[in-house]
């Protein structure tokens, strides 16, 4: 590294290390969607029940969300590189176990270990980026690339799944993780120095189950709401229980010197708003994905792989948006204004989606591209703010909070906007197909399924002959598109409100982290903190 006015400037080695750290990021984000096309093959070979199939999908996200806070705190105390290597080994071993699982229960267990590994990888990689790039401009550029790669990895996962299933057996979707993890285990010790808090204090073990008991019931309740297309008693009770335990967890963190999440993280004015704004950005991203994926397959009638390939088109814009936003701030643009503009751009994307009809492929693709560009621009800037405004010693905890907020935001987006769209769909289908042609004579349970989801309507229409099937399909597709338009309008309003929130909360927010007294530090304090951090490093192997 070479010294600059803002810190040590990263060189070729640090950038090479950053490229290596992108591997776990891509794989963890891809694993969110990698099972999309593998389900039929898994069903044929492992014969999971409906409950087991649900857990094959959800256990990964639950383990990931529940352990993020714990793993971020562990990385700060025991070493981020050490935790990253442990996570890579666990992720690789679990990938092999999942690929060769002989039963549904074995696959569920392997997916759970994958989620545990992912929970160690995500905050560790982001915290290490914070430590590798001490120069503000370089860090902003690196985090912009990081945010774009994470968004693109989710889309790439579904495509990769389709390609692998088409040419190999279903377990191959997991084996693609193994070479990358082996490469990570080989290169990280050579390229990435160890970083940890030199004086972490004792670990607050009781906060581990408290944090999980706070996060998991809320995530479960939101996912259950999205799956059931509306609030029920069990989701409501689950969310309330999680929030109540969360209040106990927060109180414990505020009253203990060895808190897992230090209250000092929130002393900087920009940290709390960054967490909230990032959650709103994820709300918008996942809320739109809920509709666009169904639109491409069930409304336009495209095959799963073709739909996944079309969904990659907006990623071209996503790859540009994050670095462009970072560059604008570096040229002197006000950060709050650029973040607000990103939210407004996302709202415009939602507005374009709200113009879609039942045969509007390019409208949907353009709207999705504009929306994703605005959201990724926001995510890159608020991530840089959240990570850059905390002491390097606590970057792991900050990254874990940021990513936990993302999990909440994504689940909330699918639950809220999905419920809005489904309510409109049910109302329209009831009015269009209320017992008359083409549904006359159909069993009651079949009619109920048509009124529940578009997928059920498509399946039933395929079994009906002639004009009756076409009429049912047209009515259902129009109802879904109408529901998508209304939900996108609601999403646009949320993003406009988020833009106002960004302008209000981020005015005159600096980039320095607070000192122990809570006052934003000067460059001298920053240098001292970096020196303190350096004192706690383990020396990287020479080469």
User: In sequence order, what are the residues at sequence separation of 6 or more whose Cβ sits closer than 8 angstroms to the Cβ of residue 200?
Assistant: 76, 77, 393
Output the CA–CA distances (angstroms, integers) from residue 315 to 360, 370, 371, 484, in the order listed.
19, 10, 11, 21
- Mean pLDDT value across the chain: 78
Q: Using one digit for the tens of pLDDT, what is the confidence trace for 188-224?
A: 888 878 777 776 667 777 888 888 888 888 888 877 7
Does the pLDDT at position 448 exceed 70?
A: no
User: In sequence order, what are the residues at sequence separation of 6 or more whose Cβ sits closer than 8 angstroms to the Cβ of residue 145?
Assistant: 18, 22, 322, 323
Q: Using one digit for the tens of pLDDT, what is the confidence trace for 371-409?
A: 988 998 898 888 888 887 777 777 778 888 888 888 888
Cite the beta strand spans of 374-495 per DSSP E: none
Record the tokens describing residue 365, joined without a space: 């693709």
357-365 average pLDDT score = 90
* Listed ranges 139-143, 332-336, 352-356, 395-399; the one with the highest mean pLDDT: 352-356
162-175 average pLDDT score = 80
Least confident of 21-30, 247-256, 438-447, 496-505: 438-447
Q: Which residue matches tokens 């088409």?
A: 166
79-106 average pLDDT score = 89
Gap between the Cα atoms of 221 and 433, Å rounded: 31
Could you tell me what percent of the chain has a pLDDT over 70?
A: 81
pLDDT band for 4, please (50, 70, 90 cuts): very low
266-288 average pLDDT score = 85
Q: How many CA atoms lie within 13 A of 459 on its CB side?
A: 10
Helix (H) or strand (E) holding 246: helix 233-255
Q: Using one digit for the tens of pLDDT, what is the confidence trace for 248-263?
A: 888 888 887 777 777 7
Could you tell me what percent of the chain has a pLDDT over 90?
A: 11
pLDDT of res. 238: 87
Backbone torsion region of residue 201, taken as left when φ is above 0, otherwise alpha when ψ lies between -120 and 50, otherwise beta: left
């Amino acid at each position: 590294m070479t010294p600059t006015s803002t810190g040590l400037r990263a060189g070729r080695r640090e950038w090479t290390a950053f490229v290596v750290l992108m591997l776990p990021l891509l794989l963890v984000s891809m694993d969110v969607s990698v099972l999309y096309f593998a389900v039929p093959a898994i069903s044929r070979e492992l014969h999971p029940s409906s409950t087991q199939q649900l857990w094959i999908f959800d256990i990964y996200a639950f383990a990931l969300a529940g352990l993020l806070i714990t793993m971020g705190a562990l990385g700060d105390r025991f070493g981020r590189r050490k935790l990253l290597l442990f996570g890579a080994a666990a992720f690789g071993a679990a990938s092999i176990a999942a690929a060769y699982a002989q039963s549904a229960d074995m696959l569920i267990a392997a997916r759970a270990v994958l989620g545990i590994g992912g929970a160690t990888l995500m905050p560790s990689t982001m915290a290490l980026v914070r430590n590798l790039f001490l120069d503000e401009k370089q860090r902003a550029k690196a985090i912009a690339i990081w945010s774009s790669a994470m968004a693109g990895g989710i889309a790439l996962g579904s495509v990769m799944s389709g390609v692998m299933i088409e040419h190999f057996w279903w377990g191959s979707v997991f084996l693609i993780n193994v070479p990358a993890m082996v490469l990570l285990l080989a290169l990280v010790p050579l390229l990435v120095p160890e970083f940890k808090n030199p004086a972490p204090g004792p670990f607050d073990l009781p906060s581990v189950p408290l944090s999980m008991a706070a996060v998991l019931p809320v995530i479960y309740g939101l996912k259950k709401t999205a799956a059931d297309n509306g609030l029920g008693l069990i989701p409501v009770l689950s969310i309330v229980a999680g929030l109540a335990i969360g209040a106990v967890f927060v109180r414990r963190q505020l009253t203990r010197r060895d808190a897992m999440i230090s209250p000092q993280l929130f002393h900087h004015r920009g940290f709390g708003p960054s967490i909230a704004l990032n959650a709103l950005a994820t709300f918008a991203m996942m809320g739109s994905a809920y509709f666009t994926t169904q639109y491409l397959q069930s409304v336009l009638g495209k095959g799963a792989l073709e739909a996944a390939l079309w969904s990659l088109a907006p990623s071209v814009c996503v790859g540009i948006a994050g670095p462009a936003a970072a560059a604008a701030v570096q040229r002197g643009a006000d950060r709050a204004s650029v973040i607000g503009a990103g939210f407004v751009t996302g709202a415009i994307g939602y507005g374009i989606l709200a113009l879609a009809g039942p045969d509007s492929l390019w409208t949907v693709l353009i709207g999705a591209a504009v929306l994703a560009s605005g959201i990724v621009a926001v995510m890159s800037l608020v991530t840089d703010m959240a990570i850059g405004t905390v002491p390097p010693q606590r970057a792991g905890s900050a990254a874990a909070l940021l990513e936990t907020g993302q999990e909440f935001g994504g689940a909330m987006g699918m639950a809220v906007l999905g419920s809005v769209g489904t309510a409109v769909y049910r109302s329209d289908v009831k009015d269009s197909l209320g017992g008359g042609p083409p549904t006359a004579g159909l069993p009651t349970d079949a009619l109920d399924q048509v009124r529940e989801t578009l997928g059920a309507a498509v399946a039933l229409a395929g079994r009906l002959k002639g004009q009756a099937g076409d009429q049912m399909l047209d009515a259902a597709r129009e109802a879904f598109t109408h529901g998508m338009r209304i939900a996108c309008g609601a999403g646009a309003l949320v993003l406009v409100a988020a833009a106002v929130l960004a302008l209000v909360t981020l005015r005159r927010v600096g980039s320095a982290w607070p000192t122990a007294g809570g006052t934003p530090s000067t460059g001298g304090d920053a240098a001292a903190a970096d020196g303190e951090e350096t004192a706690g490093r383990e020396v990287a192997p020479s080469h």
